């Protein structure tokens, strides 16, 4: 297999972090479409959620590029 158990766990963690970022970005739709809702410009949607998504992408990149050491390769054999 091209990746190790540790790499798969990092991929799953990155996916969970990214999904949580998208969940943070949800909401803010007004009940009445004629009324403008300023909640779409709050800190959570403009700063926190994109930062969490970027952290998830970085975790997934680390998981993909992770290179196991020689001792970890011997344990899997």
- Residue 32's pLDDT is 84
**Token digits for 44?**
């959570």
Distance set, CA 61 to CA 2, 4, 11, 54 (Å): 15, 14, 8, 10
- Residue 37's pLDDT is 81
One digit per residue, the tens of pLDDT, for the chain of length 77 reads 567 888 899 999 999 999 999 999 998 777 888 888 888 889 999 999 999 999 999 999 999 888 777 676 666 65
- Residue 44's nearest CA partner among 59, 26, 56 is 26
Distance set, CA 41 to CA 6, 8, 25, 36, 69 (Å): 38, 36, 11, 11, 45
Reduce the DSSP state of residue 67 to 3 states and report it.
Answer: coil
């Amino acid at each position: 297999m091209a990746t190790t158990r540790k790499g798969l766990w990092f991929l799953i963690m990155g996916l969970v972090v990214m999904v949580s970022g998208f969940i943070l970005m949800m909401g803010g739709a007004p009940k009445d479409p004629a009324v403008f809702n300023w909640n779409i410009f709050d800190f959570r949607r403009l700063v926190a959620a994109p930062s969490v998504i970027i952290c998830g992408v970085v975790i997934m990149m680390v998981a993909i590029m992770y290179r196991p050491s020689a001792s970890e390769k011997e344990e899997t054999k």
